[in-house]
Structure 1
């Protein structure tokens, strides 16, 4: 009997710029779900939010600096090489083709999850991957109506269920959610103030030294 490889985690975003509010939940999921690795996938053109403030090459460079010393976290830049909006369904389909029967776990925040019915071809997502909903501790996500019924029939109650099949389950996981936002980081940098300790030091040195979000800090 063959043994499935450890699940692969996927966390998307604009990472404009990346900060510990992105990275801490990613590390927690890596450990709690016993993932083989967590892929951070920066999007080129987000379908549901304003365009990023800086270009893809700079965001990618900062993200790579940020995860350089974080074992288990890896950057996947496939969406930056794809024209048009960065639809998650296209990314998950490509990963499924590459990874075969390996379990895939696509992570998203609770607010994004509640807005899932507005996503492009959202019903197909779960055919390619499990959905892992990151919740604030003590704040359960409660979708209602037809969407709530759809969720209830696919809900996983145990982490081990994600290893039993390649895709198809929805697991809700409490994670630490730090009160840090990319908007707040950009505002600090635009005023010439330090964003040190809001992101890994190598990432901060890159954006501060180059002045990509404001004034150089040298």
Structure 2
């Protein structure tokens, strides 16, 4: 099976995660997209809700969108999650699968700062999601990496179905949502119906997550 992996804190998960994942799944004719919540992300100080809540919300999204499946491998790990170690574990556990790791263009431009990033090309394909019309400067160091690995449809390439290490550039519909903004709106008690599925909105309300913050009392001078 061809499996895409979308990692993140999903704090909370929203359509800015869901819609690009579904677009990539359709454009590359992938079998599934695995949503992989982090437990201890190496580049962030922490999350705003528990790992259990983030896993539960991701599972609700998977229940609502059949091509999406939950992958809890990082959420269950009691140490910081590095992509290369996760892919090594997944390849060992599922040697029959061909993995595609999803990332935005911003993440791709900073890929050289990732832990053992070169090893990713021995473990999976990279799928770089970019806005329509966006380009990568030829002066950027990652332009050379892209030129070395970019997938170019050809008869020769198509015969190598087991080959890994390609970079697929996929143009996706830009989504005006971020977890930071969704949390800010929730803390202020603002409507977020356009940003998250109804099942996630219901879960957040039921478990009182990201509850509106009480106004701070004015200090007397």
TM-score in terms of structure 2 length:
0.88
1:199 is matched with which residue? 196
Question: 1:146: Cα distance to partner?
Answer: 4.5
- Structure 1 gap ranges (5+): 1-5
- Give the Cα separation in 2 of the matches to 1:146 and 1:189: 39
- Give the Cα separation in 1 of the matches to 2:193 and 2:91: 37
Do the aligned residues in 1 keep the contact of 2:61 with 2:68 (CA within 8 Å)? no
Q: Which of the pair has more CA radius of gyration?
A: 2
Question: 1:94: Cα distance to partner?
Answer: 1.2
2:173 is matched with which residue? 176
Question: 1:166: Cα distance to partner?
Answer: 4.2
1:99 is matched with which residue? 94
1:45 is matched with which residue? 40
| Residue 17 (str. 1) matches residue 42 (str. 2) | no
The 5-angstrom pairing of residues 24-173 of structure 1 reads 24-142=19-137, 144=139, 146-158=141-153, 161=157, 164-173=161-170
Moved more, 188-197 or 71-80: 188-197
1:208 is matched with which residue? 205
| Residue 188 (str. 1) matches residue 185 (str. 2) | yes
Give CA-to-partner distance per residue, 1:30-50, whole Å, 9 cap, x none.
111111100010011111234
Give CA-to-partner distance per residue, 1:46-67, whole Å, 9 cap, x none.
1123421111111111111122
Do the aligned residues in 2 keep the contact of 1:47 with 1:85 (CA within 8 Å)? yes
Do the aligned residues in 1 keep the contact of 2:129 with 2:170 (CA within 8 Å)? yes
Q: SS where residue 64 of structure 2 aligns?
A: coil
- Structure 1 moving runs of 4+ over 6 Å: none
Q: SS where residue 79 of structure 1 aligns?
A: coil
RMSD of the alignment, in Å?
A: 2.0
Question: 1:143: Cα distance to partner?
Answer: 6.2
TM-score in terms of structure 1 length:
0.89
User: How many correspondences in the alignment?
Assistant: 211
Moved more, 73-82 or 187-196: 187-196
- Give the Cα separation in 2 of the matches to 1:99 and 1:166: 16
- Structure 2 gap ranges (5+): 214-221
Q: 1:156 to 1:83 in 2, by over 3 A?
A: same
Question: 1:136: Cα distance to partner?
Answer: 0.4
Q: 1:35 to 1:114 in 2, by over 3 A?
A: same
Question: 1:119: Cα distance to partner?
Answer: 0.5
Question: 1:76: Cα distance to partner?
Answer: 0.5
Do the aligned residues in 1 keep the contact of 2:4 with 2:34 (CA within 8 Å)? yes
- Give the Cα separation in 2 of the matches to 1:194 and 1:143: 42
